[in-house]
């Protein structure tokens, strides 16, 4: 992990040290997560999916905890 402002320099430092860098990606990791009832979580996930389907959207992040109940409902 590194700060976003140091991402390129960190990747360059790793390469210069002879370490293979397979990918460099900026992600947003939440400091706090939320637990929702499975039905509410599915509503949020459908909204996230709809946002991801928009042509001008590159990536969508959320702070939803995907507990086993939510995962089971997603699979079902």
pLDDT (tens digit per residue) in 2-57: 888 999 999 999 999 999 999 998 888 899 999 998 889 989 999 999 999 999 99
Which residue range forms the structural domain that includes residue 45?
Answer: 31-76
pTM over 0.75: no
Query: In this structure, what token pair is assigned to residue 70?
Result: 């939510």
CA-based angle 56:34:42, to the nearest 5? Answer: 60
* Same domain flag for 73 and 38: yes
Number of domains in the chain: 2
Output the pLDDT for position 49: 93
Report the Cα 75 to chain-centroid distance in Å.
19
Query: In this structure, what token pair is assigned to residue 16?
Result: 């210069």
d(C-alpha 6, C-alpha 2), whole Å: 6
d(C-alpha 10, C-alpha 53), whole Å: 32
Output the pLDDT for position 23: 92
* Same domain flag for 6 and 40: no
């Amino acid at each position: 992990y590194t700060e976003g402002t140091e991402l390129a320099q960190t990747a360059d430092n790793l390469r210069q040290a002879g370490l293979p860098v397979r990918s460099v990606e900026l992600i947003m990791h939440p400091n706090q997560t939320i637990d929702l009832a499975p039905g509410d979580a599915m509503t949020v996930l459908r909204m996230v999916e709809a946002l991801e389907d928009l042509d001008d959207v590159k990536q969508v992040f959320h702070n939803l905890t995907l507990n086993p109940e939510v995962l089971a409902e997603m699979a079902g």
